Amino acid sequence: MILCSIQRTLGISDDNSVMNVIKKFMKHKLFVEQLLEAADKIYEFGNFVSWTNIGPAFHEAFRLTLGQSTITNIVKFLISLLDLSTTTNKDEGLFSLISCMLNELLSFVFKQAAVNPPTTSELCSLLNLLLKCGNGYLSSVKLITSSILESLECSRAIDVVEQLLQPILIPFLLKLQSYRSNENAQSCFLTLHEHCFNILNQYCLEPLPPIIFKAQSIDCDCNDCQTLILFLCDSTKSKQQFTIDKDRGTHFHETIKKLGSLSCVYEHLTDDSGQKLLVLKISDYEKKHRTCLLLRDVVLNMIKQKSYHLQRELSENFKCSSPKRFKQA
Ligand SMILES: [Zn+2]
Residue 158 to residue 164: CA distance in whole angstroms: 10
48-53 LR contacts (CB < 8 Å, sep 24+): 48/2, 49/3, 49/19, 49/22, 50/93, 51/91, 51/93, 51/94, 51/97, 52/93, 53/19
Spell out the residues 6+ positions from residue 19 whose beta carbon is closer than 8 angstroms to its own: 49, 53
Q: In what order do the strands lie in the sheet with 274-283?
A: 239-245, 274-283, 262-269
* Cβ < 5 A residues, ion ligand 1: 220, 222, 225
Q: How many whole angstroms from 285 Cα to the centroid of ligand 1?
A: 27
Expressed in angstroms and rounded, the spacing between residue 255 Cα and the centre of ligand 1 is 7
DSSP secondary structure of 299-325: HHHHHHHHHHHHHHHHHHHHHHHHHHH
- pLDDT by 10s per residue, the chain, length 329: 555 565 566 555 566 777 888 888 888 888 888 889 989 988 988 888 888 888 999 999 999 999 889 999 999 999 999 988 877 666 788 888 999 999 999 999 999 888 889 999 999 999 999 999 888 889 999 999 999 999 888 876 657 898 899 999 999 999 998 888 889 999 999 999 999 999 999 989 988 776 666 656 788 899 999 998 888 888 788 788 888 888 888 898 888 887 755 566 666 666 566 778 888 777 777 778 888 999 999 999 998 776 666 556 545 544 433 333 333 33
User: How far does residue 227's CA lie from ligand 1's centre (Å)?
Assistant: 9
Angstrom CA distances, 236 to 158, 172, 261, stand at 27, 42, 20
DSSP string, 107-119: HHHHHHTTTSPPP
CA of 270 to the centre of ligand 1 (A): 23
**Is the model's pTM score more than 0.75?**
no
CA of 265 to the centre of ligand 1 (A): 18
Identify the three-state secondary structure at position 290: helix
Q: How many angstroms separate the CA atoms of 39 and 41, rounded?
A: 6
Instruction: Give CA–CA dist 15/189, Å, rounded.
Output: 50
Q: Return the SS3 of 72.
A: helix
